[in-house]
Structure 1
Amino acid sequence: MMNNINKTLLSGLVLFMTAETGFAGNACEQTHIKPQLYLDAGKKALEVQNQLNHLNPRVALIARAGTNLKHYGQHYSHVGFVVKNYPGKKGKWTIVHLLNQCEVPKSSIYQQGLMNFFMDDLYTFDYQITIPKEAVQEKLYETLVSLQKQSLHNSSYSMIAYPFSTKYQNSNQWVLEVIASSMNPQSAHTRQAAQAYLHKTHFKASLIKIDGFSKFGASLFSRHVRFDDHPLEEQRRNTVSTVTVSSVVDYLREQHYLKSNIAYQ
Protein backbone atom coordinates (compact mmCIF):
# COMPACT_ATOMS: atom_id res chain seq x y z
CA MET A 1 0.00 0.00 0.00
CA MET A 2 1.25 3.47 -0.86
CA ASN A 3 2.21 5.51 2.21
CA ASN A 4 0.95 9.06 2.76
CA ILE A 5 4.21 10.71 1.65
CA ASN A 6 4.22 8.82 -1.63
CA LYS A 7 0.56 9.64 -2.16
CA THR A 8 1.30 13.32 -1.65
CA LEU A 9 4.26 13.16 -4.00
CA LEU A 10 2.25 11.38 -6.66
CA SER A 11 -0.77 13.67 -6.48
CA GLY A 12 1.37 16.79 -6.53
CA LEU A 13 3.48 15.48 -9.38
CA VAL A 14 0.43 14.53 -11.45
CA LEU A 15 -1.02 18.00 -10.96
CA PHE A 16 2.18 19.75 -11.93
CA MET A 17 3.01 17.48 -14.85
CA THR A 18 -0.52 17.86 -16.19
CA ALA A 19 0.19 21.57 -16.32
CA GLU A 20 3.41 20.99 -18.26
CA THR A 21 1.66 21.66 -21.53
CA GLY A 22 -0.23 24.39 -19.75
CA PHE A 23 2.17 27.27 -19.19
CA ALA A 24 3.41 26.95 -22.75
CA GLY A 25 2.80 25.44 -26.16
CA ASN A 26 4.28 22.37 -27.78
CA ALA A 27 4.81 21.09 -31.29
CA CYS A 28 4.11 17.41 -30.63
CA GLU A 29 2.49 15.79 -33.64
CA GLN A 30 -0.65 13.77 -33.05
CA THR A 31 -0.48 10.52 -34.97
CA HIS A 32 -4.18 9.70 -34.55
CA ILE A 33 -6.32 12.82 -34.85
CA LYS A 34 -10.02 12.27 -34.26
CA PRO A 35 -12.32 13.58 -37.01
CA GLN A 36 -14.21 15.58 -34.40
CA LEU A 37 -11.05 17.53 -33.60
CA TYR A 38 -10.74 18.56 -37.26
CA LEU A 39 -14.34 19.75 -37.19
CA ASP A 40 -14.00 21.60 -33.89
CA ALA A 41 -10.66 23.21 -34.79
CA GLY A 42 -11.94 24.24 -38.21
CA LYS A 43 -15.08 25.75 -36.73
CA LYS A 44 -13.09 27.65 -34.12
CA ALA A 45 -10.58 28.88 -36.72
CA LEU A 46 -13.42 30.26 -38.85
CA GLU A 47 -14.89 31.99 -35.80
CA VAL A 48 -11.51 33.54 -34.95
CA GLN A 49 -11.02 34.63 -38.56
CA ASN A 50 -14.38 36.39 -38.52
CA GLN A 51 -13.55 38.12 -35.24
CA LEU A 52 -10.16 39.24 -36.54
CA ASN A 53 -11.67 40.50 -39.79
CA HIS A 54 -14.12 42.54 -37.74
CA LEU A 55 -11.48 43.90 -35.34
CA ASN A 56 -9.01 44.39 -38.21
CA PRO A 57 -5.67 44.69 -36.40
CA ARG A 58 -2.38 44.42 -38.25
CA VAL A 59 -0.88 42.52 -35.32
CA ALA A 60 -2.68 41.13 -32.27
CA LEU A 61 -1.98 38.58 -29.57
CA ILE A 62 -4.04 35.41 -29.39
CA ALA A 63 -4.13 33.10 -26.36
CA ARG A 64 -5.47 29.59 -25.85
CA ALA A 65 -6.11 27.30 -22.88
CA GLY A 66 -4.00 24.16 -23.18
CA THR A 67 -4.88 22.66 -19.82
CA ASN A 68 -6.71 23.42 -16.59
CA LEU A 69 -4.57 25.95 -14.71
CA LYS A 70 -7.12 27.09 -12.13
CA HIS A 71 -4.92 25.67 -9.37
CA TYR A 72 -2.27 28.19 -10.40
CA GLY A 73 -4.67 31.12 -10.78
CA GLN A 74 -4.46 31.14 -14.59
CA HIS A 75 -6.87 30.41 -17.42
CA TYR A 76 -5.01 30.91 -20.69
CA SER A 77 -1.76 29.01 -21.04
CA HIS A 78 -0.12 29.99 -24.31
CA VAL A 79 0.03 33.21 -26.31
CA GLY A 80 1.34 34.03 -29.75
CA PHE A 81 1.11 36.81 -32.29
CA VAL A 82 -1.47 36.79 -35.05
CA VAL A 83 -0.38 38.80 -38.09
CA LYS A 84 -2.36 40.00 -41.12
CA ASN A 85 -0.52 39.79 -44.45
CA TYR A 86 2.55 38.00 -43.15
CA PRO A 87 5.16 37.78 -45.96
CA GLY A 88 4.08 35.16 -48.49
CA LYS A 89 0.59 34.89 -46.96
CA LYS A 90 -1.22 37.91 -48.33
CA GLY A 91 -4.81 38.29 -47.17
CA LYS A 92 -4.41 35.64 -44.48
CA TRP A 93 -4.01 35.57 -40.72
CA THR A 94 -0.82 33.85 -39.55
CA ILE A 95 0.07 32.77 -36.02
CA VAL A 96 3.72 33.45 -35.14
CA HIS A 97 4.68 31.74 -31.90
CA LEU A 98 7.27 29.73 -30.05
CA LEU A 99 6.63 26.03 -29.44
CA ASN A 100 8.71 23.52 -27.56
CA GLN A 101 9.69 20.39 -29.43
CA CYS A 102 8.22 17.11 -28.33
CA GLU A 103 10.28 15.05 -25.84
CA VAL A 104 13.28 17.41 -25.83
CA PRO A 105 13.78 20.75 -24.01
CA LYS A 106 14.21 22.70 -27.25
CA SER A 107 11.98 25.20 -29.03
CA SER A 108 11.49 26.79 -32.43
CA ILE A 109 9.50 29.70 -33.85
CA TYR A 110 6.59 28.59 -36.03
CA GLN A 111 4.32 30.32 -38.52
CA GLN A 112 0.96 28.54 -38.64
CA GLY A 113 -2.59 28.98 -39.80
CA LEU A 114 -5.47 29.58 -37.42
CA MET A 115 -6.69 26.00 -37.55
CA ASN A 116 -3.32 24.59 -36.48
CA PHE A 117 -3.44 26.81 -33.39
CA PHE A 118 -6.46 24.84 -32.17
CA MET A 119 -5.37 21.37 -33.29
CA ASP A 120 -3.59 20.52 -30.04
CA ASP A 121 -5.38 18.55 -27.34
CA LEU A 122 -6.72 21.66 -25.59
CA TYR A 123 -8.49 21.84 -22.25
CA THR A 124 -11.06 24.17 -23.76
CA PHE A 125 -11.53 26.08 -27.01
CA ASP A 126 -11.73 29.37 -25.10
CA TYR A 127 -9.46 32.01 -26.60
CA GLN A 128 -8.49 35.61 -26.05
CA ILE A 129 -7.62 38.33 -28.57
CA THR A 130 -5.46 41.15 -27.26
CA ILE A 131 -5.03 44.16 -29.53
CA PRO A 132 -2.22 46.65 -28.92
CA LYS A 133 -2.53 50.27 -29.97
CA GLU A 134 -1.84 50.97 -33.65
CA ALA A 135 1.62 52.46 -33.10
CA VAL A 136 2.61 49.36 -31.12
CA GLN A 137 1.22 47.09 -33.85
CA GLU A 138 3.41 48.78 -36.45
CA LYS A 139 6.55 48.24 -34.41
CA LEU A 140 5.62 44.63 -33.69
CA TYR A 141 5.03 43.99 -37.38
CA GLU A 142 8.49 45.32 -38.23
CA THR A 143 10.05 42.92 -35.72
CA LEU A 144 7.98 39.88 -36.67
CA VAL A 145 8.70 40.07 -40.41
CA SER A 146 12.44 40.56 -39.87
CA LEU A 147 15.29 38.49 -38.47
CA GLN A 148 14.97 40.38 -35.20
CA LYS A 149 12.47 37.83 -33.93
CA GLN A 150 15.14 35.12 -34.27
CA SER A 151 17.72 37.16 -32.35
CA LEU A 152 15.27 37.18 -29.43
CA HIS A 153 14.92 33.39 -29.45
CA ASN A 154 16.79 30.94 -27.25
CA SER A 155 16.09 27.32 -28.18
CA SER A 156 16.94 26.11 -24.64
CA TYR A 157 13.45 25.63 -23.28
CA SER A 158 11.98 25.63 -19.80
CA MET A 159 8.27 25.77 -19.14
CA ILE A 160 8.83 28.00 -16.09
CA ALA A 161 11.78 30.05 -17.38
CA TYR A 162 12.77 32.93 -15.09
CA PRO A 163 11.82 36.28 -16.71
CA PHE A 164 15.16 37.97 -16.00
CA SER A 165 17.52 35.23 -17.09
CA THR A 166 18.63 34.37 -20.61
CA LYS A 167 19.52 30.76 -19.75
CA TYR A 168 16.15 29.37 -20.88
CA GLN A 169 12.99 30.68 -22.52
CA ASN A 170 9.34 29.73 -22.66
CA SER A 171 6.67 30.54 -25.23
CA ASN A 172 5.06 33.45 -23.42
CA GLN A 173 8.45 34.92 -22.51
CA TRP A 174 9.43 35.13 -26.18
CA VAL A 175 6.25 37.11 -26.92
CA LEU A 176 6.98 39.47 -24.03
CA GLU A 177 10.58 40.01 -25.13
CA VAL A 178 9.48 40.73 -28.70
CA ILE A 179 7.15 43.41 -27.32
CA ALA A 180 9.90 44.89 -25.14
CA SER A 181 12.47 44.88 -27.92
CA SER A 182 10.02 46.46 -30.37
CA MET A 183 9.10 49.26 -27.97
CA ASN A 184 12.60 50.00 -26.66
CA PRO A 185 13.89 53.01 -28.65
CA GLN A 186 17.49 52.07 -27.84
CA SER A 187 17.13 48.32 -28.29
CA ALA A 188 20.01 46.19 -29.49
CA HIS A 189 17.42 43.48 -30.28
CA THR A 190 18.99 41.00 -27.88
CA ARG A 191 17.40 39.13 -25.01
CA GLN A 192 19.65 40.95 -22.57
CA ALA A 193 18.48 44.34 -23.85
CA ALA A 194 14.82 43.26 -23.85
CA GLN A 195 15.03 42.03 -20.26
CA ALA A 196 16.82 45.19 -19.15
CA TYR A 197 13.97 47.21 -20.67
CA LEU A 198 11.38 45.00 -18.93
CA HIS A 199 13.16 45.56 -15.63
CA LYS A 200 13.33 49.31 -16.26
CA THR A 201 9.62 49.45 -17.11
CA HIS A 202 8.67 47.38 -14.03
CA PHE A 203 7.38 44.17 -15.60
CA LYS A 204 5.66 42.05 -12.95
CA ALA A 205 5.93 38.30 -13.43
CA SER A 206 3.33 35.81 -12.25
CA LEU A 207 4.23 34.01 -9.03
CA ILE A 208 3.43 30.31 -9.19
CA LYS A 209 3.39 28.24 -6.00
CA ILE A 210 4.85 24.76 -6.42
CA ASP A 211 5.02 22.43 -3.45
CA GLY A 212 8.33 20.75 -2.73
CA PHE A 213 7.17 17.28 -3.71
CA SER A 214 5.95 18.45 -7.12
CA LYS A 215 9.18 20.37 -7.65
CA PHE A 216 11.25 17.31 -6.81
CA GLY A 217 9.21 15.08 -9.10
CA ALA A 218 9.26 17.56 -11.97
CA SER A 219 13.03 17.89 -11.68
CA LEU A 220 13.42 14.12 -11.89
CA PHE A 221 10.92 13.28 -14.60
CA SER A 222 10.53 16.29 -16.90
CA ARG A 223 13.20 17.74 -19.16
CA HIS A 224 10.93 20.68 -19.91
CA VAL A 225 10.98 22.00 -16.34
CA ARG A 226 14.13 23.70 -15.05
CA PHE A 227 14.62 25.47 -11.74
CA ASP A 228 18.31 26.37 -11.88
CA ASP A 229 17.73 29.77 -13.51
CA HIS A 230 15.58 30.96 -10.59
CA PRO A 231 16.98 32.86 -7.60
CA LEU A 232 17.79 30.74 -4.55
CA GLU A 233 15.24 32.66 -2.49
CA GLU A 234 12.46 31.55 -4.83
CA GLN A 235 13.65 27.97 -4.68
CA ARG A 236 13.59 28.05 -0.87
CA ARG A 237 10.02 29.39 -0.88
CA ASN A 238 8.91 26.85 -3.52
CA THR A 239 7.62 29.66 -5.73
CA VAL A 240 8.62 30.52 -9.26
CA SER A 241 8.35 33.77 -11.16
CA THR A 242 7.50 33.16 -14.79
CA VAL A 243 5.83 34.81 -17.77
CA THR A 244 2.18 33.89 -18.20
CA VAL A 245 -0.49 35.12 -20.58
CA SER A 246 -2.00 37.26 -17.84
CA SER A 247 1.32 38.90 -17.00
CA VAL A 248 1.89 39.77 -20.68
CA VAL A 249 -1.54 41.42 -20.93
CA ASP A 250 -1.01 43.22 -17.62
CA TYR A 251 2.28 44.61 -18.92
CA LEU A 252 0.62 45.93 -22.08
CA ARG A 253 -2.06 47.58 -19.97
CA GLU A 254 0.36 49.14 -17.47
CA GLN A 255 2.55 50.53 -20.26
CA HIS A 256 -0.52 52.01 -22.00
CA TYR A 257 0.16 49.84 -25.05
CA LEU A 258 -3.23 48.11 -24.87
CA LYS A 259 -6.18 48.97 -27.09
CA SER A 260 -8.53 46.09 -26.22
CA ASN A 261 -8.56 42.66 -24.63
CA ILE A 262 -11.48 40.37 -25.42
CA ALA A 263 -12.16 36.86 -24.11
CA TYR A 264 -14.22 34.43 -26.17
CA GLN A 265 -15.81 31.10 -25.28
Structure 2
Amino acid sequence: MTRLPAFVLRASLFVLASLAGSTAWAGARCAARHPSPQQLDAAAATALRAVDALEAADASVALIARVGTDLSKQGLVYSHAGFVLRDHPDGRWTVVHLLNECGSDRSGLYAQGLVDFFSDDLVNQDLRIVWFTPDVARRLSQYLAHMPRGNLHNSHYNLIARPGSRDYQNSTAWLVEVMASAQATRPVKDRVDAYALARAGGFVPDIVGIPYTKRVLGGLFSANVAFTDHPVATRLSGDYPVITVRSIFRFFDKAGYTARVEEWRHGRRMSTPGPA
Protein backbone atom coordinates (compact mmCIF):
# COMPACT_ATOMS: atom_id res chain seq x y z
CA MET A 1 0.00 0.00 0.00
CA THR A 2 1.32 3.46 -0.93
CA ARG A 3 1.75 5.87 1.92
CA LEU A 4 -0.22 9.01 1.22
CA PRO A 5 1.29 12.45 0.65
CA ALA A 6 -0.24 15.32 2.56
CA PHE A 7 -2.47 17.76 0.70
CA VAL A 8 -2.21 21.51 1.00
CA LEU A 9 -5.70 22.63 1.95
CA ARG A 10 -7.38 25.35 -0.10
CA ALA A 11 -11.08 26.01 -0.39
CA SER A 12 -11.26 25.64 -4.15
CA LEU A 13 -12.77 23.33 -6.72
CA PHE A 14 -9.29 22.69 -8.08
CA VAL A 15 -8.22 20.98 -4.87
CA LEU A 16 -11.42 18.97 -4.68
CA ALA A 17 -10.95 17.80 -8.26
CA SER A 18 -7.38 16.77 -7.52
CA LEU A 19 -8.46 14.88 -4.40
CA ALA A 20 -11.13 13.04 -6.33
CA GLY A 21 -8.39 11.44 -8.42
CA SER A 22 -6.64 9.88 -5.45
CA THR A 23 -6.86 6.08 -5.37
CA ALA A 24 -4.50 5.16 -2.52
CA TRP A 25 -6.33 4.74 0.77
CA ALA A 26 -4.78 3.89 4.11
CA GLY A 27 -6.88 1.94 6.56
CA ALA A 28 -8.90 -1.21 6.86
CA ARG A 29 -9.68 -1.85 3.19
CA CYS A 30 -7.25 -2.69 0.39
CA ALA A 31 -9.42 -2.01 -2.62
CA ALA A 32 -8.71 1.37 -4.22
CA ARG A 33 -11.86 3.48 -4.40
CA HIS A 34 -12.95 6.94 -5.40
CA PRO A 35 -14.77 8.91 -2.72
CA SER A 36 -18.05 10.37 -3.88
CA PRO A 37 -18.39 14.12 -4.43
CA GLN A 38 -20.53 14.23 -1.30
CA GLN A 39 -17.85 12.50 0.75
CA LEU A 40 -15.18 14.86 -0.58
CA ASP A 41 -17.33 17.87 0.15
CA ALA A 42 -17.97 16.73 3.72
CA ALA A 43 -14.30 15.86 4.31
CA ALA A 44 -13.11 19.19 2.92
CA ALA A 45 -15.55 21.09 5.12
CA THR A 46 -14.34 19.21 8.21
CA ALA A 47 -10.69 19.69 7.24
CA LEU A 48 -11.20 23.43 6.82
CA ARG A 49 -12.88 23.65 10.23
CA ALA A 50 -9.86 21.92 11.70
CA VAL A 51 -7.39 24.15 9.84
CA ASP A 52 -9.14 27.33 10.98
CA ALA A 53 -8.98 26.16 14.59
CA LEU A 54 -5.38 24.97 14.34
CA GLU A 55 -4.19 28.21 12.74
CA ALA A 56 -5.99 30.29 15.34
CA ALA A 57 -4.35 28.34 18.18
CA ASP A 58 -0.83 28.90 16.81
CA ALA A 59 0.46 25.61 18.27
CA SER A 60 2.98 23.30 16.63
CA VAL A 61 1.08 20.06 17.31
CA ALA A 62 -2.28 18.79 18.54
CA LEU A 63 -4.25 15.57 18.80
CA ILE A 64 -7.12 15.19 16.33
CA ALA A 65 -9.82 12.51 16.59
CA ARG A 66 -12.44 11.15 14.17
CA VAL A 67 -15.39 8.74 14.23
CA GLY A 68 -14.43 5.94 11.86
CA THR A 69 -16.36 3.11 13.53
CA ASP A 70 -19.63 3.06 15.43
CA LEU A 71 -18.60 2.22 19.00
CA SER A 72 -21.81 3.40 20.64
CA LYS A 73 -22.56 -0.10 21.98
CA GLN A 74 -19.33 0.16 23.96
CA GLY A 75 -20.26 3.63 25.18
CA LEU A 76 -17.57 5.25 23.04
CA VAL A 77 -17.66 7.96 20.37
CA TYR A 78 -14.22 8.48 18.83
CA SER A 79 -12.52 5.45 17.31
CA HIS A 80 -9.26 6.84 15.91
CA ALA A 81 -6.85 9.72 16.43
CA GLY A 82 -3.51 11.05 15.29
CA PHE A 83 -1.04 13.82 15.98
CA VAL A 84 -1.46 16.75 13.59
CA LEU A 85 1.74 18.71 12.94
CA ARG A 86 1.99 22.27 11.69
CA ASP A 87 5.52 22.02 10.31
CA HIS A 88 5.77 18.68 8.52
CA PRO A 89 7.84 17.90 5.39
CA ASP A 90 4.68 16.69 3.63
CA GLY A 91 2.81 19.93 4.24
CA ARG A 92 1.29 22.18 6.84
CA TRP A 93 -1.09 20.39 9.22
CA THR A 94 -0.22 16.80 8.39
CA VAL A 95 -1.64 13.97 10.51
CA VAL A 96 0.90 11.39 11.68
CA HIS A 97 -0.73 8.16 12.83
CA LEU A 98 -0.64 4.37 12.81
CA LEU A 99 -3.08 2.53 10.53
CA ASN A 100 -4.04 -1.08 10.07
CA GLU A 101 -3.30 -2.19 6.52
CA CYS A 102 -6.18 -3.75 4.62
CA GLY A 103 -7.73 -5.51 7.61
CA SER A 104 -4.59 -7.64 7.88
CA ASP A 105 -2.39 -8.30 10.89
CA ARG A 106 0.01 -5.56 9.76
CA SER A 107 0.21 -1.81 10.30
CA GLY A 108 2.20 1.17 9.06
CA LEU A 109 2.99 4.72 10.13
CA TYR A 110 1.39 7.28 7.81
CA ALA A 111 1.61 11.00 7.12
CA GLN A 112 -1.76 12.10 5.79
CA GLY A 113 -3.38 15.38 4.84
CA LEU A 114 -6.49 16.48 6.72
CA VAL A 115 -8.84 16.02 3.77
CA ASP A 116 -7.61 12.44 3.36
CA PHE A 117 -7.88 11.90 7.11
CA PHE A 118 -11.59 12.73 6.95
CA SER A 119 -12.29 11.22 3.50
CA ASP A 120 -12.29 7.59 4.55
CA ASP A 121 -15.62 5.83 5.03
CA LEU A 122 -16.42 7.44 8.38
CA VAL A 123 -19.55 7.15 10.50
CA ASN A 124 -19.83 10.95 10.55
CA GLN A 125 -17.69 14.08 10.34
CA ASP A 126 -17.50 14.82 14.07
CA LEU A 127 -14.05 15.81 15.30
CA ARG A 128 -12.26 16.75 18.47
CA ILE A 129 -8.96 18.60 18.78
CA VAL A 130 -6.81 18.52 21.92
CA TRP A 131 -4.13 21.18 22.33
CA PHE A 132 -1.24 20.70 24.73
CA THR A 133 0.56 22.95 27.17
CA PRO A 134 3.57 24.73 25.59
CA ASP A 135 6.28 22.48 27.08
CA VAL A 136 4.39 19.29 26.21
CA ALA A 137 3.77 20.51 22.65
CA ARG A 138 7.42 21.49 22.19
CA ARG A 139 8.73 18.11 23.31
CA LEU A 140 6.15 16.19 21.28
CA SER A 141 6.72 18.14 18.06
CA GLN A 142 10.49 17.71 18.40
CA TYR A 143 10.05 14.00 18.95
CA LEU A 144 7.71 13.58 15.98
CA ALA A 145 10.05 15.57 13.73
CA HIS A 146 12.36 12.55 13.75
CA MET A 147 9.70 9.96 12.88
CA PRO A 148 9.57 7.14 12.16
CA ARG A 149 10.75 5.96 15.53
CA GLY A 150 11.20 2.29 14.75
CA ASN A 151 11.59 1.23 18.36
CA LEU A 152 8.03 2.42 19.07
CA HIS A 153 6.35 0.73 16.12
CA ASN A 154 5.47 -2.94 16.02
CA SER A 155 3.92 -3.70 12.63
CA HIS A 156 2.14 -6.77 14.07
CA TYR A 157 -1.33 -5.27 14.49
CA ASN A 158 -4.12 -6.27 16.84
CA LEU A 159 -7.31 -4.23 17.06
CA ILE A 160 -7.74 -5.17 20.73
CA ALA A 161 -4.03 -5.23 21.60
CA ARG A 162 -3.39 -5.76 25.29
CA PRO A 163 -2.03 -2.53 26.77
CA GLY A 164 1.71 -2.93 27.23
CA SER A 165 1.87 -5.91 24.88
CA ARG A 166 5.30 -6.59 23.44
CA ASP A 167 3.92 -8.69 20.58
CA TYR A 168 1.11 -6.50 19.19
CA GLN A 169 0.22 -2.84 18.78
CA ASN A 170 -2.75 -0.79 17.61
CA SER A 171 -3.13 2.85 16.66
CA THR A 172 -4.15 4.07 20.10
CA ALA A 173 -1.31 2.24 21.85
CA TRP A 174 1.14 3.96 19.51
CA LEU A 175 -0.21 7.39 20.52
CA VAL A 176 0.16 6.68 24.23
CA GLU A 177 3.66 5.24 23.84
CA VAL A 178 4.84 8.14 21.68
CA MET A 179 3.51 10.74 24.09
CA ALA A 180 5.08 9.01 27.09
CA SER A 181 8.42 8.78 25.29
CA ALA A 182 8.31 12.39 24.15
CA GLN A 183 7.72 13.62 27.71
CA ALA A 184 10.22 11.25 29.38
CA THR A 185 13.09 12.76 31.34
CA ARG A 186 15.29 9.73 30.63
CA PRO A 187 16.02 7.57 27.57
CA VAL A 188 13.21 5.15 26.75
CA LYS A 189 14.37 1.63 25.95
CA ASP A 190 11.40 0.26 24.03
CA ARG A 191 7.62 0.16 23.77
CA VAL A 192 7.17 -1.74 27.02
CA ASP A 193 9.24 0.87 28.83
CA ALA A 194 7.21 3.66 27.20
CA TYR A 195 3.92 2.12 28.33
CA ALA A 196 5.28 1.68 31.85
CA LEU A 197 6.02 5.41 31.92
CA ALA A 198 2.47 6.14 30.77
CA ARG A 199 1.05 3.95 33.54
CA ALA A 200 3.28 5.69 36.08
CA GLY A 201 1.91 8.99 34.77
CA GLY A 202 -1.67 7.93 35.42
CA PHE A 203 -2.77 6.18 32.22
CA VAL A 204 -5.60 3.67 32.74
CA PRO A 205 -7.09 1.71 29.80
CA ASP A 206 -10.80 1.26 29.26
CA ILE A 207 -12.50 -2.11 29.73
CA VAL A 208 -14.36 -3.32 26.65
CA GLY A 209 -16.81 -6.18 27.08
CA ILE A 210 -16.67 -8.93 24.44
CA PRO A 211 -18.55 -11.99 25.71
CA TYR A 212 -17.17 -15.38 24.74
CA THR A 213 -20.45 -16.32 23.05
CA LYS A 214 -20.25 -13.24 20.87
CA ARG A 215 -16.69 -14.11 19.91
CA VAL A 216 -17.67 -17.60 18.83
CA LEU A 217 -21.20 -17.14 17.50
CA GLY A 218 -20.73 -13.59 16.27
CA GLY A 219 -17.77 -14.45 14.10
CA LEU A 220 -15.35 -11.99 15.73
CA PHE A 221 -12.35 -13.66 14.16
CA SER A 222 -10.28 -11.84 11.58
CA ALA A 223 -6.63 -11.25 10.74
CA ASN A 224 -6.48 -7.98 12.68
CA VAL A 225 -7.96 -9.36 15.94
CA ALA A 226 -5.91 -11.59 18.23
CA PHE A 227 -7.66 -12.59 21.44
CA THR A 228 -4.67 -14.70 22.45
CA ASP A 229 -2.77 -11.50 23.22
CA HIS A 230 -4.79 -11.44 26.44
CA PRO A 231 -4.48 -13.95 29.31
CA VAL A 232 -6.94 -16.82 29.66
CA ALA A 233 -8.67 -15.17 32.62
CA THR A 234 -9.49 -12.12 30.52
CA ARG A 235 -10.79 -14.25 27.65
CA LEU A 236 -13.04 -16.19 30.01
CA SER A 237 -14.42 -13.06 31.66
CA GLY A 238 -14.89 -11.21 28.37
CA ASP A 239 -13.65 -7.94 29.92
CA TYR A 240 -10.73 -6.75 27.80
CA PRO A 241 -8.50 -3.83 28.78
CA VAL A 242 -8.06 -1.75 25.62
CA ILE A 243 -6.50 1.62 24.89
CA THR A 244 -9.38 3.69 23.53
CA VAL A 245 -9.38 7.27 22.29
CA ARG A 246 -11.43 8.13 25.37
CA SER A 247 -8.73 6.71 27.65
CA ILE A 248 -6.15 8.83 25.81
CA PHE A 249 -8.19 12.00 26.40
CA ARG A 250 -8.47 11.03 30.05
CA PHE A 251 -4.72 10.36 30.35
CA PHE A 252 -3.66 13.64 28.75
CA ASP A 253 -6.00 15.56 31.02
CA LYS A 254 -4.91 13.73 34.19
CA ALA A 255 -1.21 14.10 33.39
CA GLY A 256 -1.62 17.84 32.89
CA TYR A 257 -0.75 17.68 29.19
CA THR A 258 -4.02 19.21 27.94
CA ALA A 259 -4.31 22.96 27.55
CA ARG A 260 -7.77 23.05 25.95
CA VAL A 261 -10.20 21.02 23.85
CA GLU A 262 -12.53 21.95 21.00
CA GLU A 263 -15.16 19.72 19.43
CA TRP A 264 -17.54 19.77 16.48
CA ARG A 265 -20.66 17.61 16.27
CA HIS A 266 -22.81 17.60 13.12
CA GLY A 267 -20.71 20.46 11.80
CA ARG A 268 -21.34 22.71 14.78
CA ARG A 269 -18.85 23.72 17.42
CA MET A 270 -19.81 22.52 20.89
CA SER A 271 -19.74 24.97 23.77
CA THR A 272 -18.31 22.18 25.92
CA PRO A 273 -16.91 18.79 24.80
CA GLY A 274 -19.42 15.95 24.87
CA PRO A 275 -18.91 12.25 25.64
CA ALA A 276 -15.78 10.78 24.08
Task: Determine the C-alpha separation between the residues in 2 that align with 1:153 and 1:98.
Answer: 9
CA distances 1:80-101 after superposition (whole Å, capped 9, x unpaired): 0000011353xx1110000010
Asked if the contact 2:66/2:126 (under 8 Å) is kept, the reply is yes
Q: How does 1:45-84 map to 2 (within 5 A)?
A: 45-84=47-86
* Count of residues in correspondence between the two structures: 239
Q: CA RMSD in A?
A: 1.7
The amino acid of 2:64's aligned partner reads I
The amino acid of 1:83's aligned partner reads L
Residues 1:209 and 1:113: Cα distance change in structure 2 (over 3 Å): same
Residues 1:220 and 1:85: Cα distance change in structure 2 (over 3 Å): closer
Task: Determine the C-alpha separation between the residues in 2 that align with 1:217 and 1:120.
Answer: 29
Asked if the contact 2:202/2:254 (under 8 Å) is kept, the reply is no
Aligned equivalent of 1:223: 223
Aligned equivalent of 1:187: 187
Aligned equivalent of 2:201: 201
Aligned equivalent of 2:4: none
Q: How does 1:150-189 map to 2 (within 5 A)?
A: 150-189=150-189
The alignment-based identity, stated in percent, is 35
Task: Determine the C-alpha separation between the residues in 1 that align with 2:147 and 2:41.
Answer: 35
Shift of 1:185: 0.9
Aligned equivalent of 1:213: 213
Asked if the contact 1:181/1:190 (under 8 Å) is kept, the reply is no
The amino acid of 1:39's aligned partner reads D
Shift of 1:214: 2.3
Q: Where do 5+ consecutive residues of structure 2 fail to align?
A: 1-26, 266-276
Task: Determine the C-alpha separation between the residues in 1 that align with 2:219 and 2:203.
Answer: 27
The TM-score normalised by the length of structure 2 is 0.82
CA distances 1:222-261 after superposition (whole Å, capped 9, x unpaired): 1111111213221121011111111011111111111112
Aligned equivalent of 1:250: 250
Aligned equivalent of 2:39: 37
Shift of 1:181: 0.7
183-192 vs 207-216, greater mean Cα deviation: 183-192
The reply on whether 1:113 has 2:113 as its aligned counterpart is yes
Shift of 1:219: 6.9
Task: Determine the C-alpha separation between the residues in 2 that align with 1:88 and 1:143.
Answer: 16
Higher helix proportion, which one? 1
Shift of 1:147: 4.0
The amino acid of 1:130's aligned partner reads V
Asked if the contact 2:61/2:131 (under 8 Å) is kept, the reply is yes
Shift of 1:130: 0.7
Task: Determine the C-alpha separation between the residues in 1 that align with 2:229 and 2:221.
Answer: 18
Q: Where do 5+ consecutive residues of structure 1 fail to align?
A: 1-24
Q: How does 1:126-137 map to 2 (within 5 A)?
A: 126-137=126-137
The TM-score normalised by the length of structure 1 is 0.85
Task: Determine the C-alpha separation between the residues in 1 that align with 2:57 and 2:44.
Answer: 20
3-state SS, counterpart of residue 261 of structure 1: strand
The amino acid of 2:188's aligned partner reads A
48-57 vs 211-220, greater mean Cα deviation: 211-220
Task: Determine the C-alpha separation between the residues in 1 that align with 2:41 and 2:221.
Answer: 34
Task: Determine the C-alpha separation between the residues in 2 that align with 1:183 and 1:217.
Answer: 43
Shift of 1:216: 2.5
Residues 1:69 and 1:189: Cα distance change in structure 2 (over 3 Å): same
Asked if the contact 2:161/2:168 (under 8 Å) is kept, the reply is yes
Asked if the contact 1:187/1:194 (under 8 Å) is kept, the reply is no
Task: Determine the C-alpha separation between the residues in 2 that align with 1:169 and 1:52.
Answer: 29
Task: Determine the C-alpha separation between the residues in 2 that align with 1:152 and 1:185.
Answer: 17
3-state SS, counterpart of residue 149 of structure 2: helix
Shift of 1:30: 4.2
Task: Determine the C-alpha separation between the residues in 2 that align with 1:114 and 1:136.
Answer: 22
The amino acid of 1:188's aligned partner reads V
3-state SS, counterpart of residue 187 of structure 2: coil
